[in-house]
Structure 1
Amino acid sequence: MRDRGPATRLLLVYCGGTFGMRETGVGLAAQTDLGDVLSALVDASSRRHGRPVDWRLAVPRSVIDSAAAGHGTALEIADLIRERVAEGISDGPVQAVIVVHGTDTLAHSAAQTAFALADLAIPIVFTGAQRPIGTPASDAERNFDDAFREAMSGGEPGVRLVFGGAALPACRAVKRSSEAFDAFVARRPAARPVDGVGAELAAALAACAHAAAPRVGMLTMVPGLPAELLQAALDAFPDGLVLECYGSGTGPLVGSVHLAALRRARDAGTPVLAITRCEDGAVDLPRYAVGAAMAAVGVIGGHDLTAEAAIAKLRALRRAGLSGAELRSALDRNLVGEQQRRVPAAAG
């Protein structure tokens, strides 16, 4: 008989989503009473992989369809993980975390957790399902088992998203399909080298747990975007706005009214971060006059951040109390593998 070794202390967080949904007659809805199902999944994976676990279940205050997530939902999940990790299991430290989450905002919550818990040196694995557990051709059991194996693998600490047979860096993952079982992809690999958060920022991230979620959001560039819409986005997201731009960081924002709105935001302390909607390449604001004009009124270049990572990074840093030059410096660093800094081409 194979020696199964000592039990790994595992924290399992169930947040809702398609994984545990049931038909209600008016569509699928998230269920809260999934304890027995999750227990059976843990037991089955433990036996299959020969890895005994001492595990605990944690559930956020609200179990939801992840489409209903608000500004603070992902941070509440991260804070719950931090709290339960601090408590430990059976008088010992938590060694791994699995989070079962809905797919609509799975990449958002995984990225947010990667930044909010960047100071924790344990593997945290997010997963979910395209079809509810117990239904024909469900992918729930397979995804859970893959997440269990990844959490138990002894790999490097950090947050990963496991889905459809792939293990992806949370800070690079995006949802690519509403139907396919391999619904998530990381079109860019985790960036190396990682700068890390450092002792001061690590302490700030820990200290701000359970603080209110900053109002951070995103506005996507489209032809003819009116200045009124830009101003409305800045008003709605006073703690930070991500601009999803064309190409290397351009958009229809060079009119005097648009630039005035961005200038007022800078003066009011609202950081504006530009990212590219392209799957490849990075933001380079000075490359075109349009981007240079945006930079001149305070817009910050976001390298090759995904939309999910940009929102998550900005929100985590703002909740940690960063602003001004300190915030710009942190946004420029590759904290958890989220961005590859662009090296300017040599002149000549």
Structure 2
Amino acid sequence: MFTDKYMESNILVIYTGGTIGMIQDPATGALTPFNFDALYKHIPILQNFNCRIDSYCFDPLIDSSNMNPSFWIKLAKVIEENYEKYDGFVVLHGTDTMAYTASVLSFMLENLNKPVVFTGSQLPMGVLRTDGRENFINAIEIAAARAEDTPIVPEVSICFENRLMRGNRTNKFNAENFNAFLSGNYPLLAQVGVHIRYNHQHILKPNFRKLKVHLNLDPNVAILKLFPGITENVVRSILNIPGLKALILETYGAGNAPTDAWFLKALSDGIAGGITIFNVTQCKGGSVEMGKYETSVQLGSIGVVGGYDITTESAVAKTMYLLGEGFSGGQLSQMLQTPLRGELTID
């Protein structure tokens, strides 16, 4: 029988930086990093949980706008080194690039059988109307939740504004509202109200295999967002970046793009030169359907890879991961279209 009880769990809170970890200094009024050694003093309600909460703070902390693959590797190593000591992990992270980090961690942590819950806030923890306190408490409860001694959400997720989403299905869509994240193509994993209602049918099941952490990421990836009036110089300048191995092509609607001869020739030349082009939609919901309209038929004919309903954030993360694992050419294209961590749906 499923239960959302958090009995005798050990949780590691990992603070990377970001708004949620800031608190107002009573003397100066300035915002300073939260002292996680005094966690129970700042949030005494946490003592009501029947679990031990430890913390790990990166030094130096990093603003999420400065997030990069080398930091993702450090974060994955922290989880790897502490994996057997804890039942779940809560990662406090700035909101701007949280969807990228949650996506890439989902690929780096193969055979993940424990919760890794990302959360953050729009207002600092030390501000009166902060959303950070509730986000943090909810994330702790979800990371600690077990059913018959098995974690209820054994995957990388984002907990924000009373909603739990698969990490590699999200994007930040609002810079001001507390409801800042969207999972446009995948149902919520849970909703938090009086009770936490888990959507068990949508949560990845544990496979009980040994965790395998992948630490090789190849950042030779670029994003090209199409817009009306885009010029040949712009397209070719991106495709001619030295060392570029893959291009995330953000197309219109269901994967549509201009049919101008110069545009198709530029993409075709890039593919012939060894660049994999991954077609994702600019829309926050919906899927790339190569060949549905005439404007996408020719993309498929020259070898552009359709991304189905994957997000741009997840497409970037997955491509860096697969390139780091040594995939290229046809193998890379095949793996990009294969669901690995629940990141895309193939009809």
- Place the TM-score, normalised by the shorter chain, in its bin: 0.7 to 0.9
Aligned equivalents of 1:5, 1:38: Cα separation in 2: 18
Per the alignment, residue 184 of structure 2 pairs with: 187
Contact 2:19 2:123 in 1 (8 A): yes
Contact 2:250 2:280 in 1 (8 A): yes
Displacement of 1:194 after TM fit? 9.5
Per the alignment, residue 87 of structure 2 pairs with: 95
Aligned equivalents of 1:328, 1:5: Cα separation in 2: 42
1:249 corresponds to which letter in structure 2? G
Aligned equivalents of 2:337, 2:282: Cα separation in 1: 19
Q: Assess, with a 3 A threshold, how the Cα gap between structure 1 residues 194 and 8 changes in structure 2: closer, same or farther.
A: closer
Aligned equivalents of 2:43, 2:269: Cα separation in 1: 53
Contact 1:193 1:337 in 2 (8 A): no
Of residues 133, 137, 140 in structure 2, which corresponds to 1:141? 133
Q: Where do 1:224-303 residues align within 5 Å?
A: 224-234=229-239, 235=241, 238-252=244-258, 254-303=259-308
Displacement of 1:195 after TM fit? 10
Q: Assess, with a 3 A threshold, how the Cα gap between structure 1 residues 29 and 124 changes in structure 2: closer, same or farther.
A: farther
Q: Secondary structure at the match of 1:161?
A: strand
Q: Where do 1:73-92 residues align within 5 Å?
A: 73-85=71-83, 88-89=84-85
Q: Secondary structure at the match of 1:286?
A: coil
Aligned equivalents of 1:324, 1:340: Cα separation in 2: 22
Greater fraction of residues in strand: 2
CA deviations on 1:199-253 (whole Å, 9 max, x unpaired) are 9xx99x63x41x354222322110011122222323177132211110111123x
Aligned equivalents of 2:285, 2:217: Cα separation in 1: 34
Q: Assess, with a 3 A threshold, how the Cα gap between structure 1 residues 237 and 78 changes in structure 2: closer, same or farther.
A: farther
Q: Assess, with a 3 A threshold, how the Cα gap between structure 1 residues 268 and 83 changes in structure 2: closer, same or farther.
A: farther
Q: Where do 1:103-252 residues align within 5 Å?
A: 103-154=95-146, 155-189=152-186, 206=213, 208-209=214-215, 211-234=216-239, 235=241, 238-252=244-258
Identity %, equivalent residues? 28
Displacement of 1:160 after TM fit? 0.9
Q: Secondary structure at the match of 1:287?
A: coil
Q: Secondary structure at the match of 1:171?
A: helix
Q: Which runs of 5+ in 2 are unaligned?
A: 147-151, 189-200
2:320 corresponds to which letter in structure 1? R
Aligned equivalents of 1:173, 1:290: Cα separation in 2: 27
Aligned equivalents of 2:204, 2:333: Cα separation in 1: 15
Aligned equivalents of 1:44, 1:195: Cα separation in 2: 30
Contact 2:232 2:262 in 1 (8 A): yes
Contact 1:100 1:128 in 2 (8 A): yes
Contact 1:75 1:213 in 2 (8 A): no
Q: Secondary structure at the match of 2:117?
A: strand
Under a length normalisation based on structure 2, what TM-score does the superposition of the two structures give? 0.81
Q: Assess, with a 3 A threshold, how the Cα gap between structure 1 residues 307 and 12 changes in structure 2: closer, same or farther.
A: same
Aligned equivalents of 1:194, 1:125: Cα separation in 2: 13
CA deviations on 1:52-88 (whole Å, 9 max, x unpaired) are 21x4433345412212223444344234322332xx3
Establish whether residue 337 from structure 1 lines up as the match of residue 342 from structure 2.
Answer: yes
Of residues 67, 70, 73 in structure 1, which corresponds to 2:68? 70
Q: Assess, with a 3 A threshold, how the Cα gap between structure 1 residues 31 and 134 changes in structure 2: closer, same or farther.
A: closer
Aligned equivalents of 1:269, 1:31: Cα separation in 2: 48
Q: Where do 1:19-58 residues align within 5 Å?
A: 19-21=20-22, 34-38=35-39, 40=41, 44-45=45-46, 47-48=47-48, 50-53=49-52, 55-58=53-56
Aligned equivalents of 2:318, 2:305: Cα separation in 1: 13
Q: Assess, with a 3 A threshold, how the Cα gap between structure 1 residues 6 and 172 changes in structure 2: closer, same or farther.
A: closer
Displacement of 1:106 after TM fit? 1.1
Aligned equivalents of 1:98, 1:138: Cα separation in 2: 18
1:52 corresponds to which letter in structure 2? C
Q: Assess, with a 3 A threshold, how the Cα gap between structure 1 residues 265 and 119 changes in structure 2: closer, same or farther.
A: farther
Contact 1:107 1:170 in 2 (8 A): yes
Q: Assess, with a 3 A threshold, how the Cα gap between structure 1 residues 5 and 334 changes in structure 2: closer, same or farther.
A: closer
Displacement of 1:279 after TM fit? 3.3
Displacement of 1:288 after TM fit? 2.7
Displacement of 1:37 after TM fit? 4.6
Displacement of 1:274 after TM fit? 0.5
Q: Assess, with a 3 A threshold, how the Cα gap between structure 1 residues 301 and 195 changes in structure 2: closer, same or farther.
A: farther
Q: Assess, with a 3 A threshold, how the Cα gap between structure 1 residues 292 and 10 changes in structure 2: closer, same or farther.
A: same
Q: Secondary structure at the match of 1:9?
A: strand
Under a length normalisation based on structure 1, what TM-score does the superposition of the two structures give? 0.81
Contact 2:154 2:204 in 1 (8 A): no
CA RMSD, Structure 1 to Structure 2 (Å): 3.3
Q: Which runs of 5+ in 1 are unaligned?
A: 343-348
